Amino acid sequence: MTTLRIGLLGTGPWARRVHAPALAAHPGVELTGIWGRRPEAAAALAQVHHTRPYDGPDELFAACDAVAIALPPAVQAPLAVRAAEAGRHLLLDKPVATSVPEARALAAAADRAGVASVVFFTARFGEQEGEWIAAQAAAGGWFTAHADWLGSVFAEDSSSPYAASPWRRTKGGLWDVGPHVLSVLLPVLGDAEAVTAARGPADTVLLTMRHSSGAASTATVGLAAPAAAAGVEITLRGTAGITTLPRRLDGPAPAYHRAVDALLAAAATGLPNACDVHFGLRVTEILAAAEETLSPLMPLEA
């Protein structure tokens, strides 16, 4: 297989900004078509990228080798199961689901079908971040870590295109940016053997984890920080000293290109990627365990 035919599911801001342009420009990909829950949006996005809209997801599955999904997790999970059952490789967004049963059903469907899967965690597929994560995992000897991953999507003066996202307002930063934190900490410190959580202001959540390496980590995640307080910082402390995650300056598109590369490699070789659906499942399990220790989150006002 020299070119992978990939169909895109989703037409929202993330699909328009990242998925569709990157897939259309990738030399190893044919963007076969686009399906969305709003047919007019699918038609408009397909026209921009010189492909065709599809009336239903199953019709798109029949025309491609793989699917890329840019949809809310509750919509992504059942559609990804159907795509896997149709024998299509999966390029998923995080979180793969917001319930453990849905995530397990998705992983099981991918296993039964023998399809390749990659979950797009932006930090894991950023060139500098990915190299840093691999280097720190190889170094070992880490004692503690702390992460701040705070967005201002829901700040009073926010102009973010994601501010109207219903699932983000319902589930908050724990489920939107929490996966990013876990995608960095787990490969370096090992699996989270225990996790507790406490609520902060708005949707902010403070996590405390004990890892299989013996290290401890804490994280503050949220989407409602004031713009002046928003940002990302992850710091490790251990026998090698203190080191901080480098941050990309070129946006998510190059990282998504690398995620597509990873799917192409997994589909061609049959070798699983480290960020496959099983890693996505584990992230969902940890976040669900953290959520169980919290009082219910009241949906943020639109």
**What's the pLDDT tens digit per position in 136-161?**
999 999 999 999 999 999 998 888 98
CA distance 269 to 160: 39
**Global pTM value:** 0.95
Helix, strand, or coil (residue 239): coil
pLDDT tens profile 182-239: 999 999 999 999 999 999 999 999 999 999 999 999 999 999 999 999 999 999 999 9
Mean pLDDT across 256-275: 98
pLDDT mean across residues, the chain:
95
202: left (phi over 0), alpha (psi -120 to 50) or beta: left
pLDDT tens profile 206-220: 999 999 999 999 999
Mean pLDDT across 249-259: 91
Q: What is the pLDDT of residue 187?
A: 98
Distances, alpha carbon 196 to alpha carbons 60, 70, 77, 136, 220, in Å? 41, 30, 26, 25, 12
CA distance 223 to 245: 20
Is residue 262 scored above 80 in pLDDT?
yes
Closest CA to 115 of 93, 95, 90: 90
Is residue 302 scored above 90 in pLDDT?
no
Task: Provide CB contacts within 8 A for 111, sequence distance 6+.
Answer: none
CA distance 81 to 197: 30
